[in-house]
C-alpha cells in the first residue's frame, strides 16, 4: 500500500477537540504522512495553543496566522494560504472539521484544485441560515468526497439533500472519543478546588454566538436572567463576548452581581471537569450541548434552533432562546427537579461508542489502497 498524505485543517478551539483523537491515531500510523495546517483563526493562547499542548498533538507544520476579520476577509485570506499549502505539499486528501470558517476555507480551497475532501462532523443542520455556521455546513458537505456523519439524523439530512450514499459514512462522534480518551485527565482536574466550588452547587454558562453576543439586547437578557436565577453561575467568557460586554457597557453591571463568576476561557480538561460537576449548563455552543448530554447534565440552549436535535428529542436539552423570563422559568424548573442526572443517565446515546476516529482512519486508509 502506498503512503497516504493527509492535510488536516484546523483553526478554532472546537475543531482542535474534534480532531485530537483522530490526529493521535493517524500520527502513530506509519502509512500516513500528516501535514497539519492551522489557519490561526483563533490565536489567543487560551483559545488555541493550550489545546495543542493539552492533547499532546503534533505541532502544526503550517500556521497561517490569519486571525480575526469579517467573514470575507477571514475566509478569503485562509483560502489563499490553504491553496498555497496544498500546491506546495500536494496532499492526497484534505481533512476538515465542523462548521467554522476554517472548515469552509479548507473545503473551498481544496475543491478548486481537485484534491479530495473528507469532512468530519458532516450532515448537521439547524435549519437556521442566518447563522454563518449553517451556511458553512451545507457548503462544506456539498464540496466533500468523504462525509463522516456522527448520527443517524445527520446521515438522513445528507440523503435528503441528494448526496450520494456511497460518500456518506455513519461513524459516530469524535467528541465522544475525546471524552473517553482523556477521561482520567478530566477526573484529575483541580479546577473546582482552584475556583473554590462545591460539586453540584453551581450552574455553568457560556455564550459566544454572534447572533447573541453581537446584539446588546440579547446579551443583556441572558445576563439579567442569570442574575434573577440567583444560583452561583460560573461564566467562562469567550473573547468575542468579553469585547462586546465592554463595548455595550454591560461588563461593570454584571461584574457587581454576586451570583455570576466570570472567568477566562478554560482548557478542555478543566472545562469538562467544571461541566460534569455542575447542576445545569446554559449555552449557545453546539459542542457543549452534546457534551452536556454525554456528561448527563441538564442543558438549556440559548437559541431557537439546534443542530443537535437528538438531545432535545430525548428530553436532555431544551431550546429557550434569549428571553429573560423563559430562561428563568426553565432554569428554575430544572433546579427544582429531584436528581435530573438520574433521569438523564437512562438515555441511550445517539453519538456512538467512542470509536469514530478509528472508523474514519480505516476508511481513509482503505481509499488509499
User: Would you name the residues annotated as active-site residues?
Assistant: 208
By the rule CB under 6 A, 239 interacts with ligand UD1: yes
- In the three-class reduction of DSSP (H, G, I as helix; E, B as strand; rest coil), residue 318 is classed as strand
Least separation, in Å, of the C-beta of 257 and ligand UD1? 24
| Distance between CA atoms of residues 121 and 133, nearest Å | 12
Least separation, in Å, of the C-beta of 262 and ligand UD1? 15
| Distance between CA atoms of residues 366 and 369, nearest Å | 5
**Residue written as cell 472545562?**
271
Single out the segment in contact with ligand UD1 by CB under 6 A; choices: 9-17, 22-30, 152-160, 223-231: 9-17
By the rule CB under 6 A, 49 interacts with ligand UD1: no
By the rule CB under 6 A, 248 interacts with ligand UD1: no
| Distance between CA atoms of residues 223 and 280, nearest Å | 15
Least separation, in Å, of the C-beta of 277 and ligand UD1? 23
Single out the segment in contact with ligand UD1 by CB under 6 A; choices: 54-62, 97-105, 174-182, 256-264: 97-105
| Distance between CA atoms of residues 357 and 22, nearest Å | 5
| Distance between CA atoms of residues 192 and 176, nearest Å | 23
Sign of CA dihedral 303, 307, 309, 311: negative
- In the three-class reduction of DSSP (H, G, I as helix; E, B as strand; rest coil), residue 117 is classed as strand
Grid coordinates representing 82?
A: 490553504
Q: Which of residues 207-226 bind ligand UD1 (CB under 6 A)?
A: 208
Binding pattern for the stretch 253-272 against ligand UD1, x by CB under 6 A and - elsewhere: --------------------
Number of residues binding to ligand UD1, judged by CB under 6 A: 19
Element (H, E) at 91: none
Question: Smaller CB distance to ligand UD1: residue 20 or 364?
Answer: 20
Residues engaged in binding ligand UD1 (CB under 6 A): 12-14, 41-44, 47, 68, 99-101, 132-133, 208, 238-240, 243
Amino acid at each position: 500500500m502506498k503512503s497516504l498524505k493527509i492535510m488536516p485543517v484546523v483553526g478554532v478551539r472546537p475543531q482542535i477537540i474534534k480532531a485530537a483523537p483522530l490526529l493521535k491515531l493517524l500520527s502513530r500510523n506509519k502509512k500516513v504522512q500528516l501535514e497539519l495546517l492551522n489557519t490561526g483563526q483563533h490565536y489567543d493562547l487560551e483559545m488555541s495553543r493550550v489545546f495543542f499542548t493539552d492533547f499532546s498533538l503534533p505541532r502544526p507544520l503550517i500556521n497561517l496566522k490569519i486571525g480575526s476579520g469579517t467573514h470575507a476577509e477571514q475566509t478569503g485570506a485562509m483560502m489563499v494560504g490553504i491553496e498555497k499549502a496544498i500546491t506546495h505539499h500536494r496532499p492526497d486528501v484534505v481533512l476538515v472539521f465542523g462548521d467554522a470558517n476554517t472548515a469552509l476555507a479548507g473545503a473551498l480551497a481544496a475543491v478548486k484544485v481537485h484534491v479530495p475532501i473528507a469532512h468530519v462532523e458532516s450532515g448537521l443542520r439547524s435549519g437556521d441560515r442566518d447563522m454563518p455556521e449553517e451556511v458553512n455546513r451545507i457548503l462544506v458537505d456539498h464540496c466533500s468526497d468523504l462525509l463522516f456523519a456522527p448520527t443517524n439524523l445527520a446521515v438522513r439530512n445528507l440523503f435528503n439533500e441528494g448526496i450520494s450514499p456511497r460518500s456518506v459514512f455513519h461513524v459516530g462522534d469524535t467528541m465522544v472519543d475525546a471524552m473517553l480518551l482523556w477521561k482520567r485527565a478530566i477526573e484529575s482536574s483541580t479546577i473546582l478546588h482552584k475556583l473554590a466550588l462545591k460539586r453540584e452547587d453551581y450552574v455553568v454558562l457560556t455564550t459566544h454566538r454572534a447572533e447573541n453576543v453581537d446584539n446588546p439586547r440579547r446579551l443583556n437578557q441572558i445576563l439579567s436572567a442569570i442574575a434573577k436565577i440567583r444560583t452561583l453561575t460560573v461564566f467562562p467568557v469567550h473573547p468575542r463576548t468579553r469585547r462586546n460586554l465592554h463595548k455595550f457597557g454591560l461588563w461593570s453591571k454584571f461584574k457587581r452581581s454576586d451570583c455570576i463568576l466570570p472567568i477566562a476561557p478554560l482548557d478542555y480538561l478543566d472545562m469538562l471537569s467544571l461541566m460534569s460537576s455542575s447542576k445545569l449548563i446554559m449555552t449557545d455552543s453546539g459542542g457543549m450541548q452534546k457534551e452536556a448530554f454525554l456528561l448527563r447534565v441538564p442543558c438549556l440552549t440559548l437559541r431557537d434552533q439546534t443542530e443537535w436535535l437528538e438531545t432535545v428529542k430525548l428530553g436532555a436539552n431544551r431550546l429557550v432562546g434569549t428571553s429573560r423570563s423563559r430562561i428563568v422559568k426553565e432554569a428554575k424548573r430544572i433546579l427544582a427537579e429531584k436528581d435530573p442526572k438520574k433521569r438523564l443517565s437512562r438515555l441511550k446515546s445517539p453519538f456512538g461508542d467512542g470509536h469514530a476516529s478509528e472508523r474514519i482512519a480505516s476508511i481513509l486508509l482503505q481509499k488509499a489502497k
